[in-house]
Amino acid sequence: PARKRFLREARTAAQVRHENVVQIYAVEEQPLPYLVMEFIPGEPLQQRLDRSGPFDAAEVVSIGRQVADGLAAAHAAGLIHRDVKPANLMYDITSDRLKLTDFGIARLTDSSRTRTGIILGTPSYMSPEQLSASKVSGQTDLYSLGVTMYHLLTGAPPFQADSIPRLMDKIVHQK
């Protein structure tokens, strides 16, 4: 069952073809299938944020548009990323574009319910639905994109706490 699920999700991810999504190739070798990702010359936005601080508003708007376009292509293929954050957005210096990467915890729309007791993703960027192990949709990626844009603009995510449970409580209950 795990191999079949891996292959199904790998094939779906490999079908997403968009200038703002890293190209993934599903290789079905025996005894183990694997994924190969295109090489992107550049750096993750988190690295630039750490080095240079917040981005200017016009750049954040451009980033948001590019990532939203890439997410729309993934969602159209039935794929929910579930971990949109600055570390998973690569700036490609050769094309002067953003590329959404790391579909490692992405799930197909029809199997998007998080298993009980398991949280997948980076808590600061997760939607309330993800944190409460509810059914997720493409809207969870849009929530995470909004948090990412806020972080790029201000230098910090909107919700912060000294523990994961407190952080989760803020995300679920505060505006």
**131 with 123: CB under 8 angstroms?**
yes
Crossing angle of helices 45-52 and 138-154, in 10° steps, is 20
- Asked about 102 being catalytic, the answer comes back as no
Q: Directed axis angle between helix 138-154 and helix 57-76, to 10°?
A: 160
Dihedral, CA of residue 83, residue 88, residue 89 and residue 92, to nearest 10: -150
* Catalytic-role residue among 50, 69, 83, 102: 83
Locate the DSSP E strands across 15-168: 24-27, 34-37, 42-44, 79-80, 89-92, 97-100, 107-108
Q: Which helix (H) or strand (E) covers residue 7, if one does?
A: helix 2-15
Q: Which two tokens stand for residue 39?
A: 């090489």
Active site residues: 83
